[in-house]
Structure 1
Amino acid sequence: MLKNQPQPDWPEPIVRVQSLSENCIDSIPERYIKPSTDRPSIRSSNFDDANIPIIDLGGLFGADQRVSDSILRQISEACKEWGFFQVTNHGVSPDLMDKARETWRQFFHMPMEVKQQYANSPKTYEGYGSRLGIEKGAILDWSDYYFLHYLPLPLKDYNKWPASPPSCRKVFDEYGRELVKLCGRLMKALSINLGLDEKILQNGFGGEDIGACLRVNFYPKCPRPELTLGLSSHSDPGGMTMLLPDDQVPGLQVRKCDNWITVKPARHAFIVNIGDQIQVLSNAIYKSVEHRVIVNSDKERVSLAFFYNPKSDIPIEPIKELVTPEKPSLYPAMTFDEYRLFIRMRGPRGKSQVESLKSPR
């Protein structure tokens, strides 16, 4: 977008959901009430005891090839069957994980005038926000958030990062470094499982010149959780997501066989999921999966979603080794910048965005 062009702003005054939570006793504003078809189901199902796979990464790419091969198989099956999995023994310090989540919880409990200094706009979403998409009159989600760029370095602006609590910038810098390393290991595994050289998928992202950002989600208590969602159904538009959940308060739900499964977080595990860009690069061998977040009447939730993305200005299309006469390319080339704008204008809408890009057969 050219600098001399007017920048879009939010279509209506922004209301912080945390403030609504503190003032709503037994009802919520109509703007947050979802259509009956989108509300959380309270009925039980055959999937109530199901959970996404939990994979111990301790021996991945280690000296014992049999252990490494077993882990690779588990990752492959999880990607193809679920699009989601949890990882333990991933190399990130549990203390750093706890510190990152609790530091951000402290931010959301800062005075409103402190948080408002970082209020965001639809241009980049960077900063303190309370809605996605710019559709006037849209039904909103019951959540506030903070969005930050980590990579590439020219986008990393400490002025956009909270100065309070004082540890926030230092903690997130360390957290970001560790997650970039972990994502690199998983990209290598995904590439090998596609039958490719271990660097091919990473090269499709732009090599080492990738993008990374963080969205901290704050889901306040809600007096009518059966009527709304913390985050509407969507698939992640980027490459791969590493979610640090609130392991005391479940809320993430993953779609499986037309059922919504509430993920049971393992202690000090990350929840990993495939994004739309890997679906495109893999020519839909790996698929991004719809997920959503439910809210709680008694407890707030804080989670950190770290997005590992392609370089924003290179065309993303199916890797040539995965395109055959039997399975031609399913998607046209599109940069991540173009795709991200496509998503931002509409807000979360299931998997309709990536599916709408498929080339006619």
Structure 2
Amino acid sequence: MSCVQSWPEPIVRVQSLSESGIRTIPDRYIKHLSDRPLFTGNSPAVNKVNIPTIDLNSLFSGDGAVRRETCELISGACREWGFFQVINHGVDLKLMGGMQEAWREFFHLPLEEKQRYANSPTTYEGYGSRLGVVKEAKLDWSDYFFLHFLPEPLRDPSKWPRLPVSCRELVAKYGEEVVKLCEKLTRILSVSLGLKEDALHQAFGGDENRGACLRVNFYPKCPQPDLTLGISPHSDPGGMTLLLPDADVAGLQVRHAGQWVTVKPVPNAFIVNMGDQMQVLTNGMYKSVEHRVIVNSGKERVSLALFYNPGGETVVKPLEELVTEERPAIYPAMTFNQYRSFIRTRGPCGKSQVESLKSPR
């Protein structure tokens, strides 16, 4: 995946910076003026809109009209926002809460314990504090833990935290349940596009080759949240992301109609967003959307992002059924590994990668 074996500079843990009591953040974390979030005092600017919330309970209804209406709502959200929240999704609520608490406990373990899992740019798996290997790049105010779940040959529970003792079992159960939800959503999305129900599932590589990985994000308190970001603007390189946010502290912002909209999390909901590979597969009908994360001066945040992706060697291109004379293929074919090497080298860079692939019209 990457020939880079180590980070270009010594790694500094953002949590350690936060807990040191500093009042001003290092220059490496100060974003350019145009990239800084809009704050009023210590609070982010308030918006009057939110991403759509969709109740999946209706999909299990015997009423075909109700199911079609839900599919239409999801289709509309994918076209207009690229984001939506789902409730009544079927994932065990105690499991969701247990995962959040276990990972919060992990990030509050002694640094020596966390350092056992320090990651490198070769796979990114483990405990990390930066994306991208560009030297002297502006850094984000966050630490994270990244692990592989699918395909099974990539899964190695020995690389998952041994503490807290419940963590490995929780990760296995959580991954299994959220992947099942992802499967349901890809089938719904296929139908909403007028495709066979398993079209997107097969395009991801089917049961054997599809990928899934988990990134647990930890955003420590920040003394100057108006100067930095938890994650810089980007669109997710994969297929679809299911985010379990910290419901107590807003942080995710989505670019919509030229403005940054702060997402208000619905309790016990997942935030779903389309990734770049979904934009490619749907020939631009469903769009990945630029988003970023703001930080907080008074509260830390923990969020869990499960990325549901095509297999690394799966060739991704616009689905034939969505290519016509009036709408020719916009994107070339390439493997997902080829595509995601961009973000693993440069880090978050808006939507520059997927946009650069577009064929000239």
C-alpha distance in structure 1 between counterparts of 2:45 and 2:144, whole Å: 33
- In the alignment, what sits opposite 1:319? 319
Residue 61 of structure 1 deviates from its aligned partner by 4.4
**Residue 46 to residue 193, structure 1, CA distance change in 2 (3 Å):** farther
Q: Is 1:350 equivalent to 2:350 in the alignment?
A: yes
Q: CA contact under 8 A between 2:38 and 2:44: conserved in structure 1?
A: no
5+ residue gaps in structure 2?
Answer: none
Contact 1:188 1:202 in 2 (8 A): yes
Cross-structure match for 2:359: 359
Q: Report Cα offsets for 1:223-268 as digits up to 9, x if no partner.
A: 0000000000000000000000000001000000111000000000
Q: Is the 8 A contact 1:130 1:144 kept in 2?
A: yes
Partner of 1:259: 259
Report the 3-state secondary structure (helix = DSSP H, G, I; strand = E; otherwise coil) of the residue aligned with 1:303.
Answer: strand
Q: Name whichever of 94-103 and 45-54 sits farther off.
A: 45-54
**Residues 308-338 of structure 1, C-alpha deviation per residue, up to 9 Å, x if partnerless?**
0001102100000111111110000010111
Q: Which residue of 1 aligns with 2:196?
A: 197
Secondary structure in 2 matching 1:195: coil
Q: Which runs of 4+ in 1 moved over 4 A?
A: 43-47
Corresponding position of 2:47: 48
Amino acid at match of 1:175: Y
CA-CA distance at 1:47 after TM superposition: 7.2
How much has 1:269 moved relative to structure 2?
A: 0.2
Q: How does 1:274-285 map to 2 (within 5 A)?
A: 274-285=274-285
Aligned to 2:301: 301
SS of alignment partner, residue 226 of structure 2: helix
Q: How does 1:135-146 map to 2 (within 5 A)?
A: 135-146=134-145
Query: Which structure 1 segments of 5+ residues have no match?
Result: none
Following the alignment from structure 2 to structure 1, what is the Cα–Cα distance between the partners of residues 296 and 241?
23
Structure 2 residue 244 is matched with structure 1 residue 247: no
Pair 1:165 & 2:160 matched: no
Map Cα deviations across residues 5-34 of structure 1 (whole Å, 9 max, x no partner).
x64310000000000001143200000000
CA distance in 2, matches of 1:176, 1:81: 29
| Alignment size in residue pairs | 358
* Structure 1 segment 29-40 matched on structure 2, within 5 A: 29-40=26-37
Cα distance in 2 between the residues matched to 1:45 and 1:303: 18
Instruction: Give the structure 2 partner of residue 76 of structure 1.
Output: 75
2:180 aligns with 181
1:239–1:276 contact (8 Å) kept in structure 2 = yes
Please state how far the C-alpha of 1:46 moved relative to its aligned partner. Answer: 10
Q: What is the letter of the counterpart of residue 33 of structure 2? A: S
- Any conservation in 1 of the 2:39–2:45 contact (CA below 8 Å)? no
Q: 1:150 and 1:140 mapped to 2: Cα distance?
A: 27
1:55-111 C-alpha deviation (Å, 9 max, x unpaired): 000121432212211111110111111000000000011111100111000000000
Range with bigger deviation, 77-86 or 24-33: 24-33
Structure 2 counterpart SS, 1:345: helix
Given the alignment of the two structures, is residue 131 of structure 1 paired with residue 152 of structure 2, yes or no?
no
CA distance in 1, matches of 2:22, 2:239: 40
CA RMSD for the aligned pairs? 1.5
1:94 alignment counterpart: 93
Could you tell me which amino acid in structure 2 is paired with residue 299 of structure 1?
K
C-alpha deviations, 1:97-127, integer Å up to 9, x for none? 1001110000000000000000000000000
Once the 2 structures are TM-superposed, how far is the Cα of residue 194 of structure 1 from its aligned partner?
A: 0.7
| CA displacement at 1:155 relative to structure 2 | 0.4
- 8 Å contact 1:252–1:293 — kept in the other structure? yes
Identity %, equivalent residues: 64
CA distance in structure 2 between the aligned counterparts of 1:225 and 1:47, rounded to whole angstroms: 15
Q: CA deviation at 1:45?
A: 11
Q: For 1:259 and 1:51, locate their aligned partners in 2 and report how far apart those are by CA, in whole Å.
A: 12
Contact 2:38 2:45 survives alignment (8 Å): no
DSSP-derived class of the 2:331 partner: coil
Stretch moving more, 75-84 or 41-50: 41-50
Match in the other structure for 2:331? 331
TM-score, normalised on structure 1?
0.97
SS in structure 2 of the partner of residue 302 of structure 1: strand
Q: Distance in 2 between matches of 1:150 and 1:73?
A: 31
Q: Are the structure 2 counterparts of residues 110 and 46 from structure 1 closer, same or farther at C-alpha, using a change threshold of 3 Å?
A: closer
**The residue matched to 1:225 in structure 2 has which SS?**
coil
| Aligned mates of 1:56, 1:154 — CA distance in 2 | 34
